[in-house]
Structure 1
Amino acid sequence: MIKDTIKTSTEKHITAADILEDPNYIAMSYGGYREKTRDIQPTISQLKQDMKILSAMGIKILRTYNVQLQEASNLLKAISDLKKEDSNFEMYVMLGAWIDCKNAWTGKIPNHEVESEQNAGEIGRAVALAKQYPDIVKIIAVGNEAMVTWATSYFVRPNVILKWVTYLQELKEKGELDKDLWITSSDDFSSWGGGDPSYHTEDLNNLIRAVDYISMHTYPMHNSHYNPQFWLVPEEESNLPDIEKIESAMQRALLFSQQQYDGVANYMRSLGINKPVHIGETGWATLSNEHYGADGSKAADEYKSGRYYQLMREWTKKEHISCFYFEAFDEQWKDAQNPFGSENHFGLINLKGEAKYAIWDLVDNGIFKGLKRDGQSITKTYNGKVEDLIREVHVPPLKIETTYNY
């Protein structure tokens, strides 16, 4: 008992500043929903299963998205319980507070100039959880892709995000929140000034000044459809073996993300500001029957997803950039009416408890030994047969092709 007391009293107080940029704190986006509706919440027991799996993978910081539902609060309780059961268990959370415009998700026309009446309650819940679990909640993210104009159902102007970021920073100054708690917003690279100049407003500039760091999103997979020039196979590579064409495309996808990251960092610096920029979200679907599948950009499959995961982890680790990879587990509620929709297939582990190609090496290394998810041991997709996986991989279209179905 005396030894435990000494250990607790001398334990280092881990902060967001310690975690972000440190390659030993691998980041991951997390949702634990198993069913086709979020009306069925994952149990605390299920959340604990997931935490043990992710901890075994070396994950030490998770990103959540809202506190409207019970999942986030239950997740914090699950982590807290695991820490009590094992003093060496380590997991931290970037807690998301969802932000909407007026009339979002109501069937009425969204009013993007006015915020939802629900936002204040959402921020209040996030504050309460940060106070309740200061040893776990190290970051609060105000909004998820809440400023990007293609989020037509709910986006708000930067002044709304600025209002709530400022509010949270004031709570820190008053001592009502931990002074080391970092506040940000997690949004598309363009929303942070890294692309379309129409986003370059004084409200955005003031937001960049107000946050503790920038959390930006980058998705080359989506852009393989919406902005495909980087993705298509150039004519000079048309005679390469298929696997080399694919590898070249994945290297271009990595460069695409790096350029978006640089765009955000450069815009920030153009304002005379220098603070950390991290990747709050990026990922690559393993299946799609829409824009990214065999009849579209041919981007979505396990092989390309695995290569993107490897390339992003290598780059961000080298540059000390935290990368909240999207996402840990497949979730089928995201496109419940279309089982083969890409949104359901961003996980590194599927709903059958199978590790996808990106982390086959972890299965080989035995890190999942003794761990189960919903009664299923963690095995490899395709029974670990690379030849079967490669058989379903499509080469990106050639630039000179004009007939592919976009």
Structure 2
Amino acid sequence: MKNSLFTYVFCGLILVLSSCKNEVKSKESSGLQQKTEVKLTAKDILGNPKYLAISYGGYRAKSRTIQPTIAQLKEDLKLLHAMGIRIIRTYNVQTQYPHASNVLEAIHQLKKEDDSFEMYVMLGAWIDCLNAWTDKAPNHNEESPQNEGEIERAVVLANKYPDIVKIIAVGNEAMVNWAASYYVQPKVILKWVNHLQQLKKDGKLSKDLWITSSDDFSSWGGGPDSYRTEDLRQLIRAVDYVSMHTYPYHNTHYNSDFWTTPEADKKLSKQEIVDKAMVRALNFAKNQYENVSEYVKSIDSTKSIHIGESGWATVSNGHYGFNGSRATDEYKQGLYYKSMRDWTNKNQISCFYFEAFDEQWKDAKNENGSENHFGLFTLKGEAKYPIWDLVDEGTFANLKRDGHPIKKTFNGNIDMLLSTVNLPNTDYKK
């Protein structure tokens, strides 16, 4: 009887302990599940060095009418994910170019296939003036009737993929006057930013979705006073953050004082001269950032400023090549990429580096035009100098682009790469 009672009590105790253990496991499992399902917002990821950002276009062909497939987009996204990219930027949701919606679907599928895959999107809505891209004169004081549909499509996609779309950018370089084919006045951008903010208030968009416009530093008050209008001031107050562009690369031609080699540096080695030129290039970008920050903070001290674009091309037969400013090559791109990442990460600034892959549609009739060659990867998926170290580390092992394993440009031969490097053209007359 005693043995039976002991056995009964002992078995009961085992059941209780087992139940408690299962409950703990259940709570731990639930906690893990909650951890993986935490819904990060733009506020959480922007400025966070663990969430590197990049501008992405997956186009392979010379025309955007040939769209990359979902499978091709997934290949690209796996490469970007492997190198630590967690936020990508797209540019339009035009019906004839379903690239952005396909990118979102590709991310959605990758997340279903792999719980560890994490990627977010800054979704661009393209904004034009009246008569943009037509044979009629652009009317910069009136907007294109197409803009309304573009905004509506962005809203639909943000609501369809709320776990992926964290930012909507109204327009790309849509306020800067040198965008002569299509730019609009700030009042147009302000109208649509306010519209989206109202949708958030009305519960028709997530309250955590951030709204901005991505534009040249001058358009955000960092340049000529002519941009500093009342509409711009209202826009600064209306956006959730400011997305500014800075391109020292282009300014080696348009504003080249910083690119000139100081007399004292001309006695240095070729590599030392180039290295110091790229330090000046980074300082040029920093200065533009500070100019924007100073003006924006004078309007709204709470507003954060991130970099929507900055990059360096590796090929140019125009203003930036051998007969121009000689800014163009992979070595200089590598120095700029590394220093830009270091500076922005240290200062909690997101930089949507321009760009992930070369795209040949941008200057389709000119193979060696610089606009085709801003990528960190070539069209065939070769890793350019800025990310050679990632190839060495095995980051891209078993990953491909269009059937091509990821290899280094120049076969990884640094001497061969350096032989393509030209000194800044101090005698260049633009």
* Amino acid in the other structure paired with 2:60: R
Task: Supply the distance in 2 between the matched residues of 1:156 and 1:4 (Cα, whole angstroms).
Answer: 52
Match of 2:267, SS state, is coil
Deviation at 1:405, TM superposition (A): 5.1
- Between the aligned residues of both structures, percent identity stands at 64
Asked whether the 8 Å contact 1:139–1:181 carries over to 2, the reply is yes
Measured after TM superposition, the shift of residue 107 of structure 1 is: 1.5
Alignment match, 2:189: 161
Q: Deviations over 1:86-138 (max 9, x none)?
A: 11110000000000000000111000000000000000000000000000000
Any idea what the Cα deviations from partners look like across 1:8-33, whole Å, max 9, x if unmatched?
Answer: 44521100000001100000000000
The CA distance in 1 between the partners of 2:333 and 2:386, in whole Å, is 7
1:327-338 superposed matches below 5 A: 327-338=355-366
Residue aligning to 2:115: 87
Write the letter of the residue equivalent to 1:27.
Answer: A
AA matched with 1:169: Q
The one of 101, 108, 118 equivalent to 1:73 is 101
Q: CA deviation at 1:353?
A: 1.5
Q: State TM-score, norm by structure 2.
A: 0.92
Contact 1:29 1:326 in 2 (8 A): yes
Q: Choose which of 61, 86, 89 in structure 2 pairs with 1:63.
A: 89
Q: Alignment RMSD, CA only?
A: 1.2
CA-CA distance at 1:232 after TM superposition: 1.0
> 1:284-332 CA deviation, whole Å, 9 max, x = no partner?
0001000000000000100001100011001001101000000000000
Asked whether the 8 Å contact 2:237–2:300 carries over to 1, the reply is no
Question: What's the CA shift string for 1:13-70, capped at 9, x where partnerless?
Answer: 1000000011000000000000000000000000000011000010000000000020
Q: Residue 71 of structure 1 aligns to which amino acid in structure 2?
A: H
| Structure 1 match to 2:68 | 42
* Structure 2 residue aligned with 1:18: 44
Q: Which residue of 2 aligns with 1:358?
A: 386
> Whose helix fraction is larger, Structure 1's or Structure 2's?
2
What residue is the counterpart of 1:282 in the other structure?
A: 310
Structure 1 residue runs of 5 or longer lacking an equivalent are none
Q: 1:230 aligns with which of 247, 258, 270?
A: 258
The change in CA–CA distance for 1:272 and 1:44 in structure 2 (over 3 A counts) is closer
Runs of 4+ in 1 over 3 A off after TM superposition: 2-10
Q: Which residue in the other structure is 2:201 paired with?
A: 173
- How far residue 7 of structure 1 moved from its aligned partner, in angstroms, is 4.5
CA distance in 2, matches of 1:167, 1:7: 38
Aligned residues: 401
Match of 1:383 among 399, 408, 411: 411
Distance 2:377 2:129 in 1: 33
Whole-Å separation in 2 of the counterparts to 1:392 and 1:117: 47
Q: TM-score, normalised by structure 1?
A: 0.97
Aligned to 1:198: 226
Give the Å deviation of 1:273.
Answer: 3.0
1:18 aligned partner, one-letter code = D
Deviation string, structure 1 residues 200-248 (Cα, Å, up to 9, x no partner): 0000000000000000000000000000001111122121111111111
2:382 maps to a residue whose letter is: E
Residue deviations 1:331-381 (CA, integer Å, cap 9, x gap)? 000000000000000000001221000000000000100001000000000
- Pair member with larger Rg: 2
Partner Cα separation in structure 1 for residue 300 and residue 158 of structure 2: 31
- Conserved 8 A contact 1:268-1:274: no
Write the mapping of 1:88-237 to structure 2, written as runs, cut at 5 A.
88-237=116-265
SS of the residue 2:309 aligns to: strand
Deviation at 1:6, TM superposition (A): 6.3
Mapped partners of 1:149, 1:16: distance in 2: 29
Q: What is the identity, as a one-letter code, of the residue corresponding to 1:125?
A: R
The gaps in structure 2 that reach 5 residues or longer are 1-25
Tell me the equivalent position of 2:79. Answer: 53
